[in-house]
Amino acid sequence: MTVLDILQYPDPRLFQIAKPVSQIDDRIRQLISDMAETMYGAPGIGLAATQVNVHEQVIVMDLLETRNALRVFINPELVWCSDKQKIYEEGCLSVPGIYEEVERSDRVRVRALNEKGERFEIEVDGLLSVCIQHEMDHLNGRVFVEYLSLLKRNRINKKLKKFRRMPH
């Protein structure tokens, strides 16, 4: 397994639209393994392939603190979103140290393939719903800060530039 480099906002590669995976083969299974290792090491709860500069529709996610419930979504599609909206505080591995409130659908139904190529459909709410929507945005070339006002985005850009200049 390999820990991959995570692209940092506002890297233009984060705004590329991911293509559907045409075949789930050893290359995709290795990508899933590397993405999981990267997400756990960051540490994070979700990672889209776009964030590691692979522009294919692959998402990994694990919301449990025990880190033993990896979920894989290949070629995910939202088939339904509730009209009811909910505000959650979101963060992102591509926007380190920034947490902001974003309004999203409270419940969603998503259809995808797992790492074995099996089609599944689930309806979820709460944090899992938010995480799915957040990661699917990445596949569509969108970062959560784009939901914020221009003033907040400019403030975030300044913070991130300052953060990058600091020695680590």
Q: φ and ψ at 51, to 5 degrees?
A: -70, -20
Gap between the Cα atoms of 1 and 37, Å rounded: 7
Q: Which listed residue (90, 100, 115, 135) is catalytic?
A: 135
8 A C-beta contact, residue 139 and residue 98: no
- Cα–Cα distances (Å) from 117 to 29, 96, 111, 128, in that order, read 10, 32, 12, 21
Q: Is 65 a catalytic residue?
A: no
55 is in an annotated binding site: no
The pair of structure tokens assigned to 153 is: 């985005």
Flag whether 168 is marked binding: no
Binding-site residue positions for Fe cation: 92, 134, 138
Binding-site residue positions: 92, 134, 138
Give the active site residues.
135
